[in-house]
């Protein structure tokens, strides 16, 4: 028997961006299949990061994409939060009383190159010298600088849709953007996957910790709901993301740190975790790649962070943040 955990509709809190709303619709669909009698209401919530017009890295990674939503979950205004794991700070425990109930099977974690619709450019290598590439993440800026030091990296803020609008609609402005780098999963969730010209391999641009993973968060005390949501969780994604976040924790990093981390599961079932830490220019970086048992992802993440710290990661991070 599947007891319906709530007699009233389940209130799902989410950011208001089109990507966030699309993610939430996916979760509602999964819940409808699992528990057809359970009604759901979507509660769009404005977060501090949505209002911030400046440089994202200056927000200091305080989790401002998720904080306002977590507060509403703690106060009981909503029952469930759908977050991009990438936006959830990794440098400490979750807010009091909240737990991750499930991580959905991971979407494409890679970054992609997008060019204006009428551009013939197919790859980063084909961009002309000095081309303007939009990106506001330190992680992407650093890795683009490493591959193509001649490029001008332009800070572009806003939702994926806003950024695409700037790419397609600013030709009258000088300088126009020649390309953008965004998350593959973000484009796909907006049904804009066909705009990706080049999908960067993880060796070309190592993804952010938790990239492409949607996480369902609820109150620990909401036992019936927790049991229901757990059924949506994917064990492989949980192991991979746990290794990545253990690495991030070891480095005391956050979503806008100059840190990249990506864990994959090899054919033999073992985890393969890569980590990188760079300065903003991408000229100085350290990296590590270690394999370990899927039974102990925390240990693997700890080993990769220890190795990065041994190579000087803390000094590189300190030099970048200010
Ligand atoms: N900070 C915004 C954000 N948070 C998660 C994603 C992508 C989707 C994901 O990785 O889950 C994005 C957009 C982007 O990075 O282009």
Supply the residue whose CA is at minimum distance from atom 1 of ligand 1: 87
Q: Is 182 in the pocket of ligand 1 (CB under 6 A)?
A: yes
Out of 244-253, 275-284, 305-314, least confident range: 275-284
Residues 6+ apart with CB under 8 A from 193: 184, 187
Q: Domain residue spans in the chain? A: 10-106+212-233, 111-199, 244-321
Q: Is cis: bond before 175, omega within 30 of 0? A: yes
Which pLDDT tens digit goes with each residue over 139-168? 898 899 888 999 999 988 888 988 998 898
244-321 to CATH, choices 3.40.1710.10, 3.30.160.40, 2.40.110.10, 3.40.50.150: 3.30.160.40
**Is the ipTM reported for this complex over the cut 0.95?**
no
**For range 295-307, the mean pLDDT:** 98
Instruction: Residue 6: count other Cβ atoms within 10 Å of its Cβ.
Output: 17
Instruction: Kindly name the residue from 70, 79, 87, 108 that is annotated as catalytic.
Output: 87
User: What pLDDT, in 10s, does the model give residues 177-194?
Assistant: 999 999 999 999 999 999
Q: What is the C-alpha to C-alpha distance for residues 90 and 70, in angstroms, rounded to an integer?
A: 15
Residue minimizing CA distance to atom 2 of ligand 1: 87
Mean pLDDT of 96-117: 97
Query: In angstroms, rounded to a whole number, what is the distance separating the alpha carbons of residues 273 and 275?
Result: 7
pLDDT at residue 122, as a whole number:
96
pLDDT exceeding 70 applies to what percent of the chain? 89
Alpha-carbon dihedral sign for residues 208, 245, 83, 189: positive
Question: If you measure from the C-alpha of residue 222 to the centroid of ligand 1, how many angstroms do you get, rounded to a whole number?
Answer: 28
Q: What does the pLDDT average to over 48-76?
A: 77
Confidence of residue 1 (pLDDT cuts 50, 70, 90): very low
Query: Is there an atom of ligand 1 within 6 Å of 61 CB?
Result: no
Mean pLDDT confidence for 255-272 = 90
185 in ligand 1 pocket by Cβ < 6 Å?
yes
Task: Give yes or no on whether 10-106+212-233 and 244-321 have one common fold.
Answer: no
Atom 11 of ligand 1: nearest residue by CA position: 212
Is 84 a pocket residue for ligand 1 (Cβ < 6 Å)? yes
- Class for domain 10-106+212-233, per CATH? alpha beta
Does the Cβ of 160 fall within 6 Å of ligand 1? yes
Q: Which of 1, 70, 63, 22 shows the shortest CA–CA distance to 193?
A: 22
- Joined together, the tokens standing for residue 310 give 């041994």
Nearest Cα residue to 215 out of 231, 233, 191, 239: 233
Is 166 in contact with 156 (CB distance < 8 Å)?
yes
Find the mean pLDDT for residues 94-98.
96
Q: State the pLDDT confidence band at 257, using cuts at 50, 70 and 90.
A: low
User: How does residue 253 score in pLDDT terms, banded at 50, 70 and 90?
Assistant: low
> In ligand 1, which atom is closest to the CA atom of 109?
10
User: Positive or negative, the Cα torsion across 252, 254, 258, 262?
Assistant: positive
pLDDT of residue 169: 79
Atom 14, ligand 1: which residue's CA is nearest?
183
| β-sheet with 198-199: strand ranges across | 152-154, 132-134, 179-183, 111-114, 198-199
47 lines ligand 1 (CB under 6 A): no
User: Active-site residue 87, yes or no?
Assistant: yes
Average pLDDT, the chain: 90
Q: Say how many Å lie between the CA of residue 27 and the centre of ligand 1.
A: 17
Say how many C-beta atoms besides its own lie within 10 A of residue 198's C-beta.
Answer: 21
Residue 193: half-sphere exposure toward Cβ, Cα within 13 Å: 8
> Ligand 1 centre and the CA of 5: distance in Å?
31
Rounded to the nearest angstrom, the distance between the alpha carbon of 236 and the centre of ligand 1 is 20
Question: What is the predicted pLDDT for the residue at 266?
Answer: 98
Window from 43-57, 207-221, 264-278 with minimum mean pLDDT: 43-57
Residue 255 Cα, ligand 1 centroid: separation in angstroms?
10
The CATH class of the 111-199 domain is alpha beta
pTM above 0.90, yes or no: yes
pLDDT at site 56: 60
The residue to mutate among 82, 85, 186, having the most atoms of ligand 1 within 8 angstroms of its beta carbon, is: 186
């Amino acid at each position: 028997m599947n007891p319906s955990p709530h007699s009233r509709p389940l209130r799902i809190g989410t950011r208001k961006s089109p990507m966030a709303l699309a993610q939430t619709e996916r979760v509602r669909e999964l819940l409808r299949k699992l528990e057809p009698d359970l009604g759901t209401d979507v509660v769009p919530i404005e977060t501090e990061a949505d209002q911030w017009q400046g440089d994202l890295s200056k927000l200091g990674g305080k989790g401002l994409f998720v904080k306002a939503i977590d507060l509403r979950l703690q106060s009981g205004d909503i029952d469930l939060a759908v977050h991009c794991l990438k936006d959830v700070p990794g440098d400490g425990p979750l807010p009091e009383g909240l737990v991750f109930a499930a991580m959905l099977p991971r979407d494409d974690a890679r970054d992609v190159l997008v060019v204006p619709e009428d551009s013939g450019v197919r790859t980063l290598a084909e961009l002309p010298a000095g081309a303007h590439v939009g990106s506001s993440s330190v992680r992407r800026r650093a890795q683009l600088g490493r591959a193509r030091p001649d490029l001008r990296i332009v800070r572009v803020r806003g939702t994926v849709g806003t950024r695409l609008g700037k790419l397609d609609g600013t030709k009258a402005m000088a300088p126009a953007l020649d390309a953008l780098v965004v998350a593959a999963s973000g484009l796909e969730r907006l049904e804009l996957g066909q705009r990706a010209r080049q999908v960067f391999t993880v060796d070309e641009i190592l993804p952010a910790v938790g990239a492409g993973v949607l996480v369902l968060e609820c109150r620990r005390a909401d036992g019936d709901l927790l049991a229901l949501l757990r059924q949506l969780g994917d064990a492989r994604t949980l192991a991979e993301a746990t290794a990545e976040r253990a690495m991030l924790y070891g480095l005391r990093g956050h979503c806008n740190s100059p840190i990249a981390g990506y864990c994959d599961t090899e054919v033999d079932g073992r985890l393969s975790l890569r980590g990188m830490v760079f300065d903003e220019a991408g000229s100085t970086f350290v990296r590590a790649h270690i394999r370990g048992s899927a039974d102990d992802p925390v240990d693997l993440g700890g080993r990769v962070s220890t190795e990065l710290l041994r190579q000087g990661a803390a000094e590189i991070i300190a030099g970048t943040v200010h």
